[in-house]
């Protein structure tokens, strides 16, 4: 066989750009030999290529992984990926497990599922699952740069637990779980595997299943001592998996944001807009102004100017900041810290409407008549400059005749017109009759160590109501504008109470002598009439609580069903884009509707918008649960040193497990177990919301004022246990519903109690009624 002679013909060496382009598109393993063959290099040229590749590696342009050269930041052909969730189009996303954060944010991978069929096919992977994937570039400008085809599903990572580290006598460690329900078991930490100190809050990976003896584990992260500041909120953050650390890429993007200019904006800097917020607020995302309308055809009317921070100018669709904001859904407000939706450079600086500095804003101009009805409104993209930062009590004191150095110069020109506009808006609100629940909020006062020193009920001022009415009006205008422009949006929807909840409410009202109609449309006015009837009566607090529990949960959705609580036909959150992702979506919709710029809402499929609404509604519920649990833990910690003390309170929940009591002063919640109530068996009368003694008829009912003794406080479970000190009501016991009437002879009932055998069986644990309901909708 004749061999072809080798040629020594020289070829032009590839440039660095040529090499990087080849590696980016190489479907399989590509090393020095594959590069040389692709560019037809001879032996001497391969020597030069080898030096060039070493130089590119030294300069960080190339990496060598598993005998394959890849461009810096690129992914190899096969890797282990961890599923992190879905994107806006519903595609499953993953990130590489072996990724160095120093190289920037981990690239997203669209997960391609293997063909599945048959009844026994495994379920699709979910967040936290890991898989061996074959990686290919997508070559798309928008969206994730890679797709990963699953080759093999791997085992889930070790089960993780949050707990308190305790040092054992033999030198090993124990981690005691902080699970609220106390269902977790202690985990044993080997002597050689712990750098934690006694009392540290830690996360632990549990490596074996509980069997005989303790499970073993490995400390993953030390979160700090329980005695340190802000340790309590860390429990809720980790239990609810709330993202609280921004990636380096997100922080870098935030730091690169520039101060706003007038380009492409209207100049509103001459309008004396002011912010009115809590005294300790660090971000100010809304500013307001009002003036009497000079139009003779609108006597008694007002022109309102509302400026909302233009977050969309800094957080663009598809950016790193956008992805992290969507992951969070909203800021989370704990008594001792805030977990923000956006980095501080954005939330507390560029998007905070601080006095005396130029700020980008979305402006709304609204004309209302003397009855508070809207005559016209328009949106504008503006540059504004706040005239002052005022706290709620400051504004109210100025109107009440006690201005200070800040509010004095603004009283006639700014504050009085604002309160005048509020008066007409309130008239419109009163005519609309939204649901008017009276549920005061308590505020925890903390010391420098983050521990509770007092619990107060801040006074509800007209200054608070003024801002709420302005913000509700702005939200209505946003929804109305986007609906008319046929731009997709997320409504803030609140459904009417369900038939089941209405029946429960009807049964309760029957026990206090109020009849609820069984037919006809349910409207907020119906509940308001009930609340008016019980005003200043012994049943006022109880009735407010039961009506609250009858309400549906407000949420975000692209389909409009109206807002029942506010009694509005259309409503969308617009006024808090610093802390709510839903509001940012509405801002982008307004930018698109008015052609304000290229950072508006991109084309979005209905299913993707629905999924987005579900995701951020879930984030909101997660935040509410975490905030509530943290408050419970802090108050339990506050009361732990008062075990044995007596408190006045009120029954706020009645279950087969016992009575839930809320203390009057602190608002702390705890349980009186049913087995500790008395020397007889108590029956749960669900219709009457009462526990009733089977023989004597002694009863404890929802809303009853009682005295209790604190028996046990578990701070990091947020749990309190009480002992009942008050004597219950007495009723003649009959089949069916109990009649709660006093018996004639107190000696007879005392004798009956002595003759009654105490029920030793523990009640079945049930969740407390009510659920999560957030009615504050500014």
Residue 102 Ramachandran class (φ > 0 left, ψ -120 to 50 alpha, else beta): alpha
* Residue the block writes with tokens 């009276």: 438
Q: What is the pLDDT of residues 381-423, one digit of tens each?
A: 999 999 999 999 999 999 999 999 999 999 999 999 999 999 9
* Residue 688: band (very low, low, confident or very high) from pLDDT cuts 50, 70, 90: confident
Instruction: Decide if pLDDT at 3 tops 80.
Output: no
Tell me how far apart the alpha carbons of residues 166 and 194 are, in angstroms, rounded to a whole number.
Answer: 11
The token pair that represents 409 in the structure block:
């110069």
Strand partners, 136: 147
Instruction: Decide if pLDDT at 465 tops 50.
Output: yes
Any residues with CB less than 8 A from the CB of 480 and at least 6 apart, and which? 377, 570
The confidence score (pLDDT) of residue 86 equals 75
State percent of the chain over pLDDT 90: 47
The confidence score (pLDDT) of residue 363 equals 98
Q: Tell me which residue of 740, 660, 666 sits closest to 706, measured CA to CA.
A: 660
The confidence score (pLDDT) of residue 138 equals 81
The confidence score (pLDDT) of residue 72 equals 52
> How confident is the model over 224-250, as a mean pLDDT?
83
Give the neighbor-by-neighbor strand order of the sheet with 266-267.
266-267, 374-385, 358-368, 302-309, 286-292, 274-277, 388-391
* Residue 609: band (very low, low, confident or very high) from pLDDT cuts 50, 70, 90: very high
Q: What is the pLDDT of residues 415-461, one digit of tens each?
A: 999 999 999 999 999 999 999 988 778 888 888 877 888 888 888 99
Tell me how far apart the alpha carbons of residues 342 and 327 are, in angstroms, rounded to a whole number.
Answer: 11
**According to DSSP H, which parts of 433-539 are helical?**
462-484, 499-511, 524-533
> How confident is the model over 20-28, as a mean pLDDT?
63
- Highest-confidence segment of 23-32, 65-74, 575-584: 575-584
The confidence score (pLDDT) of residue 761 equals 28
Of 27-36, 321-330, 641-650, 660-669, give the lowest mean pLDDT range.
27-36
* Residue 758: band (very low, low, confident or very high) from pLDDT cuts 50, 70, 90: very low
Tell me how far apart the alpha carbons of residues 54 and 201 are, in angstroms, rounded to a whole number.
Answer: 46
Higher pLDDT, 2 or 584: 584
78-86 and 109-112 as β-strands: parallel, antiparallel, unpaired?
unpaired
266-267 and 302-309 as β-strands: parallel, antiparallel, unpaired?
unpaired
The confidence score (pLDDT) of residue 79 equals 80
Tell me how far apart the alpha carbons of residues 110 and 437 are, in angstroms, rounded to a whole number.
Answer: 47
CB 202 within 8 A of CB 223: yes
* Residue 218: band (very low, low, confident or very high) from pLDDT cuts 50, 70, 90: confident
**According to DSSP H, which parts of 348-461 are helical?**
392-399, 416-432
Strand blocks (E) in 599-668: 646-655, 658-663
* Residue the block writes with tokens 């190289």: 103
Any residues with CB less than 8 A from the CB of 578 and at least 6 apart, and which? 283, 285, 309, 311, 331, 340, 341, 342, 346, 347, 351, 352
The confidence score (pLDDT) of residue 9 equals 55
Tell me how far apart the alpha carbons of residues 88 and 417 are, in angstroms, rounded to a whole number.
Answer: 44
Higher pLDDT, 271 or 39: 271
The confidence score (pLDDT) of residue 116 equals 60
Higher pLDDT, 35 or 435: 435
Instruction: Decide if pLDDT at 339 tops 60.
Output: yes
- Highest-confidence segment of 62-71, 212-221, 474-483: 474-483
> How confident is the model over 220-239, as a mean pLDDT?
79
The confidence score (pLDDT) of residue 64 equals 65
Instruction: Decide if pLDDT at 4 tops 50.
Output: no
Tell me how far apart the alpha carbons of residues 526 and 436 are, in angstroms, rounded to a whole number.
Answer: 11
Go through the chain and tell me how many residues it has. 778
Give the neighbor-by-neighbor strand order of the sheet with 698-701.
682-685, 690-693, 698-701, 729-730
CB 176 within 8 A of CB 164: yes
* Residue 177: band (very low, low, confident or very high) from pLDDT cuts 50, 70, 90: confident
The confidence score (pLDDT) of residue 506 equals 87
Q: What is the pLDDT of residues 634-681, one digit of tens each?
A: 899 899 999 999 999 989 889 989 999 999 888 899 999 999 998 899
State percent of the chain over pLDDT 70: 83
Tell me how far apart the alpha carbons of residues 703 and 564 are, in angstroms, rounded to a whole number.
Answer: 26
Instruction: Decide if pLDDT at 254 tops 60.
Output: yes
The confidence score (pLDDT) of residue 737 equals 44
Instruction: Decide if pLDDT at 181 tops 60.
Output: no
Instruction: Decide if pLDDT at 745 tops 70.
Output: no
The token pair that represents 646 in the structure block:
């007596």
> How confident is the model over 153-157, as a mean pLDDT?
67
Complete DSSP assignment for 93-125: EEEESS--GGG-SPPPEEEEPPP--STTPPPPP
> How confident is the model over 99-105, as a mean pLDDT?
62
Could you report how far apart the first and last alpha carbons of the chain are, in Å?
88
The token pair that represents 569 in the structure block:
């036909």
The shares of helix, strand and coil residues in the chain, as percent rounded to the nearest 5, are: 30, 25, 45
Tell me how far apart the alpha carbons of residues 393 and 407 are, in angstroms, rounded to a whole number.
Answer: 11
* Residue 301: band (very low, low, confident or very high) from pLDDT cuts 50, 70, 90: very high
């Amino acid at each position: 066989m004749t061999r072809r002679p080798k040629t020594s013909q020289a070829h032009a060496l590839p440039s660095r750009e040529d090499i990087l382009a080849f590696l980016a598109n190489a479907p399989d393993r590509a090393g020095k030999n594959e590069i040389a063959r692709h560019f037809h290099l001879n032996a001497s040229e391969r020597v030069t290529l080898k030096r060039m590749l070493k130089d590119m590696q030294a300069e960080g342009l190339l990496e060598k992984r598993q005998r394959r050269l890849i461009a810096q930041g690129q992914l190899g052909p096969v890797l282990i990926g961890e599923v992190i969730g879905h994107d806006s189009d519903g595609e499953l996303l993953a990130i590489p497990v072996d990724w160095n954060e120093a190289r920037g944010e981990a690239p997203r991978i669209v997960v391609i599922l293997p063909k599945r069929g048959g009844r026994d096919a495994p379920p699709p992977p979910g967040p936290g699952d890991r898989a061996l994937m074959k990686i290919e570039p997508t070559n798309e400008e928008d969206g994730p740069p890679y797709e990963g085809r699953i080759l093999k599903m791997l085992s889930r990572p070790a089960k993780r637990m949050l707990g308190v580290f305790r040092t054992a006598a033999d030198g090993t460690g124990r981690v005691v779980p902080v699970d609220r329900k106390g269902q977790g078991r202690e985990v044993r930490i080997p002597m050689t595997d712990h750098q934690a100190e006694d009392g540290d809050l830690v996360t632990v990976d549990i490596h074996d299943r509980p069997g005989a003896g303790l499970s073993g584990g490995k400390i993953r992260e030390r979160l700090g001592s329980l005695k340190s500041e802000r340790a309590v909120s860390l429990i809720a953050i980790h239990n609810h998996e709330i993202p609280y650390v921004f990636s380096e890429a997100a922080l870098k993007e935030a730091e690169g944001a520039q101060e706003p200019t007038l380009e492409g904006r209207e100049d509103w800097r001459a309008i004396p807009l002011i912010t009115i917020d809590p005294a300790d607020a660090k971000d100010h995302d809304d500013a307001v102004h009002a003036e009497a309308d000079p139009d003779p055809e609108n006597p008694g009317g007002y022109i309102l100017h509302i400026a909302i921070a233009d977050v969309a100018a800094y957080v663009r669709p598809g950016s790193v900041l956008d992805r992290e904001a969507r992951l969070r859904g909203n800021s989370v407000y704990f008594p001792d810290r805030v977990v923000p939706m956006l980095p501080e450079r954005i939330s507390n600086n560029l998007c905070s409407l601080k006095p005396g500095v130029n700020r980008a804003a979305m402006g709304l101009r609204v004309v209302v008549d003397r009855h508070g009805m809207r005559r016209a409104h328009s949106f504008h993209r503006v540059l504004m400059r706040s005239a002052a930062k005022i706290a709620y009590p400051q504004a109210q004191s100025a109107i009440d005749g006690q201005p200070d150095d800040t509010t004095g110069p603004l009283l006639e020109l700014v504050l009085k017109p604002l309160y005048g506009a509020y008066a007409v808006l309130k008239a419109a609100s009163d005519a609309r009759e939204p649901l008017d629940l009276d549920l005061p909020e308590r505020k925890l006062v903390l010391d420098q160590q983050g521990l509770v020193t007092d619990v107060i009920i801040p006074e509800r001022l007209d200054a608070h109501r003024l801002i709420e009415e302005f913000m509700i009006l702005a939200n209505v205008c946003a929804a109305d504008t986007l609906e008319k422009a046929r731009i997709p949006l997320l409504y803030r929807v609140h459904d009417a109470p369900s038939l089941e909840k209405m029946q429960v409410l009807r049964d309760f009202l029957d026990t206090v002598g109020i009849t609820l109609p069984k037919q006809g449309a349910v409207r907020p006015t119906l509940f308001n009439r009930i609340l008016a009837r019980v005003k200043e009566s012994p049943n006022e607090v109880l009735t407010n609580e039961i009506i609250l529990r009858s309400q549906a949960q407000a949420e975000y959705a692209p389909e409009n069903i109206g807002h029942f609580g506010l009694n509005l036909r259309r409503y969308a959150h617009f006024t808090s884009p610093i802390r709510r992702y839903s509001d940012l979506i509405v801002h982008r919709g307004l930018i698109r509707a008015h052609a304000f710029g290229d950072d508006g809402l991109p084309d979005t499929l209905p299913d993707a918008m629905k999924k987005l609404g579900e995701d951020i509604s879930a984030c909101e519920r997660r935040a509410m649960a975490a905030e509530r649990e943290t408050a419970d833990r802090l108050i339990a910690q506050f009361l732990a040193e008062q075990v044995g003390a007596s408190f006045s309170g009120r029954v706020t929940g009645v279950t087969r497990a016992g009575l839930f009591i809320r203390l009057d002063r602190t608002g702390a919640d705890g349980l009186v177990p049913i087995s500790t109530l008395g020397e007889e068996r108590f029956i749960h009368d669900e219709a009457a919301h009462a526990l009733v003694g089977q023989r004597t008829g002694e009863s404890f009912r929802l809303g009853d004022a009682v005295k209790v003794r604190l028996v046990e406080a578990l701070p990091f479970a947020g749990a309190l246990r009480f002992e009942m000190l008050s004597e219950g009501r007495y009723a003649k016991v009959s089949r069916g519903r109990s009649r709660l009437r006093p018996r004639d002879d107190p000696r007879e009932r005392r004798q009956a109690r002595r003759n009654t055998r105490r029920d030793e069986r523990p009640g079945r644990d049930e969740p407390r009624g009510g659920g999560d309901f957030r009615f504050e909708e500014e």
